[in-house]
Chains A and B, each alone.
Chain A
Amino acid sequence: MILQVGLGDRAAFSALYDATSAKLFGVCLRVLNNRAEAEDVLQNVFVKIWQKANLYSANGYSPMTWLITLARNAAIDKLRARRGGTVDIDDVHDLSDDAPTPEAEAIASSERARLNGCLDELEADKSEAVRRAYLDGDSYQDLAARYDVPLNTMRTWLRRSLLKLRECLSR
């Protein structure tokens, strides 16, 4: 479908929107926890999809990863632009963690189980830091404050965690 969108097919674009906008909106909302902002970002994400779909096949991404990555990156950019504003992280969790849909459970792949397994091999606060960075857009400053460690320490931790994760995933 993305390939058809890349050829400027508006019907395909509309169908792609219908099929994926709820998921991508969920992603934007997970990061931003603000409906109006998430809707703005979602709109921008689909503008980008329309403009860049013609280049999609060259980048090697699987379709859903490409879409989710565009949405998450745009949401995090928005979050960073909001700089200074506070995000109530607990609210964010309330919003989305309690309701995995049947579909989401059904597509829970062995790949994801593997990722979770590898994250669980890290110490608890380290895997949490990785999840916070990805899902909540936490910066090194945010994480250093949360775990009450110097910024450089936080960075060393996280880089080591990434390498361990990579090593585990490649086993």
Chain B
Amino acid sequence: MSPEEDHSDDAALAGEYVLHLLDDAERVAFERRMADEPALRDLVREWDEKFSLMMQDIAPITPSAAVKTRLEDRLFADTPRSRSPWWNWLTGGVVAAGLAVGAVLLMPNLISGPDMAPTFTANIAAEDGSLIVTAHFTSGTNRLHLSRQIGDALPGHSFELWLIADGAEAPVSLGVLPEDREALIDLPSELATQMTNAVLAITDEPAGGSPSGAPTGPVVAAGPVTGA
């Protein structure tokens, strides 16, 4: 292979990946690299964007109505209507991903005494690991200690933290994450009692947080609250 081809090897490889031309071993190896190399993900996205233009020529064809019925049955049938829609997706992959990451930080040494030990913890993680925030809640003080391990909000955006209590209809904002990696949030006692089996989620919001009080941006990370 000429040096020139070597240089652009990844571009061709990403194209082969997008076209599904790699064999299983090559594909797995490529996906492993992709997880760590944003440049490779960019190449894949570029090829996907270019090649998908070919699909513009494909005529839309209406599928049978049964497909939508089966789809909604499959996704929503076993979910009680009273549950928050948030719960539906949170019971899917995101919680599993949060659990899989699974790291629980020990509390800083300076906090001690039985009342000060964390009562609940959560690992709020993005599926791709691009944002990880650990949370420790201490019942004795109603204080939530947040520690942002990985990830920054985009310029002009803020990360907002939400509590989704077990069975709740809607998420409740716990505030915007500060720029500092460590933060303490004092929770009102009515929220402090809702930690059991709750989920903490982070959305991407306009700077300063959601203007409406309800999440407006996509969920970027989530994790279940577990007993410490």
Please give the residue numbers on chain A whose beta carbons come within 8 Å of chain B beta carbons, in ascending order: 3, 6-10, 14, 17, 21-23, 25-27, 29-30, 38-39, 42-43, 46-47, 50-62, 64-65, 68-69, 72-73, 76, 80, 96-97, 99-101, 103-104, 107-109, 111-112, 115, 130-131, 133-135, 137, 139-140, 155, 158-160, 162-163, 165-166, 169
Nearest CB in chain A: distance from B129 CB, A: 11
Partner of B51, one of A96, A134, A159: A134
Contact partners of B86 in chain A: CB under 8 A? 7-8
Contact partners of B215 in chain A: CB under 8 A? 7
Count of CB-CB pairs between chains A and B under 8 Å: 180
Residues 89-107 of chain B, each 1 if its beta carbon lies under 8 Å from chain A, else 0: 1101110000000000000
Of all chain A residues, which has the CB nearest B20?
A: A76
Interface residues on B, range: 35 or more
Given contact pairs A104-B60, A115-B51, a sample of 5 additional A-B residue pairs in the complex whose CB atoms are under 8 Å apart: A3-B218, A14-B72, A53-B218, A64-B52, A76-B20
Of B10-18, B115-123, B185-193, the one contacting chain A is B10-18
Nearest CB in chain A: distance from B100 CB, A: 15
Q: List 21 A-B contacts (CB under 8 A).
A: A6-B218, A8-B84, A8-B85, A8-B88, A21-B63, A25-B67, A26-B61, A38-B63, A42-B63, A43-B71, A47-B75, A53-B89, A57-B217, A58-B130, A59-B45, A61-B48, A96-B57, A135-B54, A135-B55, A158-B16, A160-B12
- Inter-chain CA distance A51–B218, complex, in Å, is 12
Interface pair B20/A73, CB less than 8 Å apart: yes
Nearest CB in chain A: distance from B214 CB, A: 9
B58 at the binding interface (Cβ < 8 Å): yes
Nearest CB in chain B: distance from A164 CB, A: 10
Interface pair A55/B218, CB less than 8 Å apart: yes
- Inter-chain CA distance A29–B58, complex, in Å, is 10
Interface pair A51/B89, CB less than 8 Å apart: yes
Q: Given A8-B84, A43-B70, A111-B53, does the pair A26, B48 have CB atoms closer than 8 Å?
A: no
Contact partners of B68 in chain A: CB under 8 A? 14, 17, 21
- Inter-chain CA distance A69–B60, complex, in Å, is 15
Contact partners of B59 in chain A: CB under 8 A? 26, 96, 99-101, 104
Interface pair B67/A166, CB less than 8 Å apart: no
Interface pair A21/B67, CB less than 8 Å apart: yes
Q: Given A23-B60, A39-B63, does the pair A166, B8 have CB atoms closer than 8 Å?
A: yes
Interface pair B54/A115, CB less than 8 Å apart: yes
B146 at the binding interface (Cβ < 8 Å): no
Residues 120-144 of chain B, each 1 if its beta carbon lies under 8 Å from chain A, else 0: 0000001110100000000000000
- Inter-chain CA distance A53–B15, complex, in Å, is 24
- Inter-chain CA distance A30–B59, complex, in Å, is 9
- Inter-chain CA distance A25–B60, complex, in Å, is 7
Q: Given A57-B217, A65-B48, does the pair A10, B56 have CB atoms closer than 8 Å?
A: no
- Of residues 1 to 40 in B, which have CB atoms within 8 Å of A's CB atoms? 5, 8, 11-12, 15-16, 18-21
Contact partners of A60 in chain B: CB under 8 A? 42, 45
Residues 146-160 of chain B, each 1 if its beta carbon lies under 8 Å from chain A, else 0: 000000000000000
